[in-house]
């Protein structure tokens, strides 16, 4: 054998021998570096059927109980009644119904519960389910590595990761919901009713908020950011003292925020740097700047643009006038029109001239996306001459798109408005009736070629 190869084999065999010796010593000590993932969750049972969760912290003398009030919503039942913090609850459920635990080391069998810190336990978790069954977890002292704790699940000793123990050992105040608005992602309408001055109503469409009353209009980017900040507002202090009757009367005389979602509306009273959610027995301090968007007048909330869509978002457009309809879809760098007509970009290097229809359509999209929401005038009494839909989908659909109605204007331009609006604006460029005629004639001419 080659001497170099022989030396390499000797080194490998020596390393394997050392590794086997180290593993045998670890086995003699009965220690495991990390919990071995098990096939079963830490607690038996269906988490969707969990009714309540109680946590007893023996060293600190703390007790926390949370109860499910509806699908996805929890409340703290003891030591005080309040909404529960969703992130904390979900973290606890994820830890309890995961499989991040391992078998107890062999040398634990010779040790008593007291030696393992299980009698009395440091932490007891009691889970009650809708069918009346109860699952219990008892947590003891950490092992020598500090990476895990002794625990008992279903009457069996196990080795539980320290991260799970930390999640379940949160202070009582961490379980309380510090948000001013509950379940903001499920809201569909916001009504602002100030004690003085004009209010407004916001409506959610898809993932964006729009002004709904006193008129319909997209919100400006700054206003949308303000709404997001308001819905995400949190308090730094959650008092334990219940609100008094005189404080309730004072708050009810202030400004009111009514938030509509899937369930009953939330009513939040705001006054003097404090907020009170009806149904929540605490008066909490808030940062006034989190609610600065409520101080804007409706005119200050609206976007300066007529439509709420970007040019590069448009995938298709549809024009309708009476019984006639024209549909165009983006296809590569160009468009496709009625009857499979292809409107191409062109390629000068290959001698393919650009299609004059492409810039015509691109200019139409640009003018619509850049249309300003001024100067405004009342919508005509007559029915609209037609409508135009800018869509984010290949098949033009109103959901997720932007529709405008148009009327002939007195100066040759079209008057345009979004459906439901009380005001319209003149559109720059040729009238949409002229655009429709030009496109229709060109489509007919090409179809005859």
Sign of CA dihedral 40, 44, 50, 56: negative
Whether 415 and 432 have beta carbons less than 8 Å apart is answered as no
pLDDT score at 358: 80
CATH 2.60.40 residue ranges of the chain are 184-301
- In this prediction, what percent of the chain has a pLDDT beyond 70? 88
Q: How many residues comprise the chain? A: 449
pLDDT confidence bin for 115, thresholds 50/70/90: confident
Q: Is the pLDDT of residue 427 over 80?
A: yes
What is the pTM assigned to this prediction? 0.70
pLDDT score at 448: 76
Among candidate residues 74, 188, 60, the one with its CA nearest the CA of residue 124: 60
Of the listed ranges 27-36, 288-297, 326-335, the one predicted with least confidence: 27-36
Cβ neighbours for 295, distance < 8 A, ≥ 6 positions apart: none
Whether 152 and 137 have beta carbons less than 8 Å apart is answered as yes
Sign of CA dihedral 96, 100, 106, 108: negative
Separation between Cα atoms, residue 38 and residue 49, nearest integer Å: 22
For the residues 340-368, what does the mean pLDDT come to?
73
pLDDT confidence bin for 80, thresholds 50/70/90: confident
Q: Is the pLDDT of residue 22 over 50?
A: no
- How is the beta sheet containing 73-78 ordered, strand by strand? 82-83, 73-78, 62-70, 50-57, 123-129, 134-142, 148-153, 156-161, 101-103
Locus of tokens 């949190």: 234
Q: What integer best gives the mean pLDDT of the chain?
A: 85
Topology given in CATH for the domain delimited by 184-301? Immunoglobulin-like (2.60.40)
Q: Is the pLDDT of residue 353 over 80?
A: no
């Amino acid at each position: 054998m080659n001497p170099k190869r022989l030396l390499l084999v000797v080194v490998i065999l020596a390393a394997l021998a050392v590794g086997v010796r180290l593993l045998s010593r670890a086995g003699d000590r009965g220690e495991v570096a990390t919990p071995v993932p098990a096939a079963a969750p830490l607690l038996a049972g269906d988490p969707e059927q969990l009714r309540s969760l109680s946590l007893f912290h023996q060293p600190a003398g703390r007790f926390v109980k949370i109860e499910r009030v509806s699908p996805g919503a929890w409340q703290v039942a003891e030591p005080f009644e309040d909404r529960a913090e969703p992130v904390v609850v979900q973290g606890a459920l994820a830890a309890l119904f995961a499989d991040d635990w391992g078998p107890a080391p062999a040398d634990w069998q010779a040790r008593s519960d007291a030696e393992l810190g299980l009698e009395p336990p440091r932490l007891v978790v009691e889970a009650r389910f809708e069918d009346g069954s109860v699952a219990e977890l008892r947590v003891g002292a950490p092992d020598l590595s500090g990476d895990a704790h002794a625990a008992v699940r279903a009457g069996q000793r196990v080795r539980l990761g320290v991260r799970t123990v930390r999640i379940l050992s949160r202070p009582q105040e961490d379980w309380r919901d510090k948000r001013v608005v509950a379940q903001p992602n499920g809201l569909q309408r916001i009504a602002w009713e100030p004690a003085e001055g004009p209010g407004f109503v916001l409506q959610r469409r898809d993932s964006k908020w729009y002004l709904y009353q006193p008129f319909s209009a997209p919100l400006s980017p700054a206003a949308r950011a303000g709404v997001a900040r308001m819905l995400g507002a949190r308090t730094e202090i959650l008092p334990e003292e219940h609100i008094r009757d005189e404080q309730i009367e004072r708050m009810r005389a202030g400004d009111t925020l009514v938030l509509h979602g899937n369930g009953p509306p939330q009513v939040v009273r705001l006054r003097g740097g404090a907020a009170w959610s009806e149904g929540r027995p605490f008066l909490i301090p808030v940062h006034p700047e989190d609610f600065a968007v409520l101080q804007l007048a409706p005119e200050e909330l609206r976007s300066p643009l007529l439509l709420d869509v970007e040019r590069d978002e448009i995938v298709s457009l549809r024009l309708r006038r009476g019984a006639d309809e024209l549909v165009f879809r983006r296809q590569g760098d160009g468009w496709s029109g009625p009857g499979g007509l292809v409107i191409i970009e062109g390629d000068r290097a290959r001698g393919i001239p650009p299609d004059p229809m492409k810039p015509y359509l691109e200019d139409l999209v640009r003018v619509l996306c850049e249309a300003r929401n001024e100067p405004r005038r009342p919508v005509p009494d007559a029915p609209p001459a037609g409508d135009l839909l800018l869509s984010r989908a290949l098949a033009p659909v109103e959901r997720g798109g932007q529709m405008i109605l148009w009327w002939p204007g007195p100066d040759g331009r079209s008057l345009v408005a979004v459906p439901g609006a009380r005001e319209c604006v003149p559109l720059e460029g040729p009238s949409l009736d002229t655009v429709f005629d030009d496109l229709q004639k060109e489509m007919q001419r090409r179809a005859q070629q």
